[in-house]
Amino acid sequence: MPANRTVQPASQSPGSGVPVKTAAKLGMVSCPHCATLWEDVKAHDRCRRCGAGLHLRKPDSLRRTWALVIAAYIMYVPANILPVMITVPFLGKEQQDTIMSGIIYFWNSGSWGLALIVFTASFLVPLFKLAVLTQLLIAVQDHSKRHLLLRAKLYRVVAVIGRWSMLDVFVVTLMTGLIQIKGFATVHPGEGIAAFAAVVVLTMLASISFDPRLMWDVTEHEPGRSHESRRGG
Amino acid sequence: MREVPDLIACEECDAVYRRLTLGRSEVAFCRRCGAELERDRRAQRKHVLPLAIAGLCMYLIAHVFPILELELRSGLFSHATLIGSVRSLRGEGMLFVALLVLATTILFPLIQLLALIYLLTFPIRFRRFGHPTTFNLSGRLIQVLRPWVMVEVFLLGVIVAFVKLTSMATVLPGIALWAFGALAFLLTAVFSFDPRCLYISRYGYKKQGK
Ligand SMILES: [Zn+2]
Ligand SMILES: [Zn+2]
């Protein structure tokens, strides 16, 4: 083993897609929390430095991510159809707002900047996340070797932007808390906001449970030995 | 099971590299996928503890005082704290949303700050007696909770709500709004700190000079 252990030093400029040796190939497992590398890891071993469970790849990554993504697609429909906020004025008709009507309201009232921010956070980001995660999952299952660098970047983007979709949940929370004024108006949260919050949580969980190393595993040529058979070994 | 010293694997593509000796604030990247491998955080580390304590103070102010105050022409008046808003969500039967807001803006930031202050004070001074399980759990908790602390998203939500309300009433920013702004800034500064370097110092692992 010492012979094939010679590895390159890390780079001080971002990657250029060059081939390298992987920890899996060298029989090593990296701790997900403290990044210590371990050799001869047996099943159910824990990191001796920080106590985190050691796995060659995130356990059951593809199936878990698929389940979360599909659940998010299902919740996406009520999240966009059902009202997220119901305003009941003292005099006059009650007004129901969906995610989209809230954005249109901002646009029409001249707050274009805010309309764009809310449109991005509440509409584009969830849709982009679902599309990217689905694409990443399909590519891994197809053993695709195309656009690996692009996919690595997309995964990073999805992991970072996911939380910003919570924006509308916080807006509805504040409006509900602030406008409970008898003799003026009351604001009530609609079912849509619960579905929308579920979409945000499910897509965040999905991007956490997806293991980006699976994308790169297909570039390893190991005839007759898939990484599945070495899991936990 | 044996530890492999001096090597590091990319979290995103599993490529293995020799650890570089990083200079001040330098970053090491993966040659294959471009992910960040390691970052030198010695510069930030000195300020982490005072910033975390300042964050705790801002946290208290942010949750005690009202965030927004509303004044109507008819003399009606209303104000909202975050906890009050969460309570009215629960009162409306939105238990899931109420819990989510409670966790991401109230519980998790507090847990993170307390875990960080614990990591930075107790185990270093009493390293020989420090309880390893609590130390490990706090370190992992900080990393696991990181994506779920949403103070800066909440702040943007306050701004959106503010603009929405200006059309119907006079809105005044409360003290807590400024405290939330400061808290969001402090949390970002504090969590540019990586608890990993504590494991390195705890176990006397020195990458300098190798
Ligand atoms: Zn570890
Ligand atoms: Zn990499």
Range with the poorest average pLDDT among A43-47, A143-147, B36-40, B194-198: B194-198
A87 and A166 in a single domain? The answer is yes
Whether the per-residue pLDDT at A144 is higher than 80: the answer is: yes
pTM of the model: 0.87
| Ligand closest in space to the Cα of A50 | 1
Q: pLDDT digits over B62-108, tens only? A: 999 999 998 887 788 888 999 999 999 999 999 999 999 999 999 99
Q: pLDDT digits over A63-79, tens only? A: 999 999 999 999 999 99
Q: Taking the domains of chain B in order of start, what are their residue ranges?
A: 1-40, 44-202
A100 and A184 in a single domain? The answer is yes
Helix axes B151-166, B175-190, angle to 10 degrees: 150
Region A8-31: what's the mean pLDDT? 73
Question: Cα(B13) to centroid of ligand 2, in Å?
Answer: 4
How high is the mean pLDDT of chain A?
86
Is A225 among the domain residues? no
Strands (DSSP E) contained in chain A are 28-30, 37-39, 85-89, 95-97, 180-181, 185-189
B92 Cβ under 8 Å from any chain A Cβ: yes
Between chains, do B153 and A163 touch, taking CB under 8 Å as contact? yes
Cα–chain center distance at A222: 30
Neighbour-count burial of B154, counting CB atoms closer than 10 A to its CB (0-12 exposed, 13-18 middle, 19+ buried): buried
Range with the poorest average pLDDT among A57-66, B10-19, B152-161: B10-19
The whole-number pLDDT of residue B190 equals 86
Q: What total of structural domains would you count in chain A?
A: 2
* Domain extent for A2: 1-55
Region A131-155: what's the mean pLDDT? 93
Tokens of B78: 């209303």
Closest CA to A76 of A17, A131, A33: A131
Is A51 among the domain residues? yes
How high is the mean pLDDT of chain B?
84
A69 and A151 in a single domain? The answer is yes
The whole-number pLDDT of residue B32 equals 86
Range with the poorest average pLDDT among A150-159, B14-23, B118-127: B118-127
Helix axes B42-64, B82-91, angle to 10 degrees: 60
The whole-number pLDDT of residue A155 equals 95
More confident residue, B206 or A199: A199
Mutate to test the interface with A, among B72, B77, B160 (most CBs of A within 10 A): B160
A100 and A198 in a single domain? The answer is yes
The whole-number pLDDT of residue A2 equals 37
Between chains, do A170 and B101 touch, taking CB under 8 Å as contact? yes
Please tell me what DSSP assigns to residue A46.
B
d(CA B98, CA B89) in angstroms, rounded, equals 6
Closest CA to B138 of A122, A223, A33, A38: A33
Q: pLDDT digits over A102-125, tens only? A: 899 889 988 898 899 999 999 999
Whether A172 and A196 have beta carbons less than 8 Å apart is answered as: no
Q: pLDDT digits over A179-221, tens only? A: 988 888 899 999 999 999 999 999 999 999 999 999 998 887 6
A177 and A118 in a single domain? The answer is yes
Between chains, do A178 and B165 touch, taking CB under 8 Å as contact? yes
Please tell me what DSSP assigns to residue B80.
E
Whether the per-residue pLDDT at A52 is higher than 50: the answer is: yes
Q: pLDDT digits over B42-69, tens only? A: 777 778 889 999 999 999 999 999 999 9
A72 and A15 in a single domain? The answer is no
Is A226 among the domain residues? no
Whether A118 and A102 have beta carbons less than 8 Å apart is answered as: yes
Cα–Cα distances (Å) from A197 to A38, A162, A209, in that order, read 39, 12, 18
Q: Compute the count of residue pairs across chains A and B with CB atoms less than 8 Å apart.
A: 271
A47 and A67 in a single domain? The answer is no
A36 and A67 in a single domain? The answer is no
A123 and A155 in a single domain? The answer is yes
**Most confident segment among A23-32, A201-210, B5-14, B24-33:** A201-210
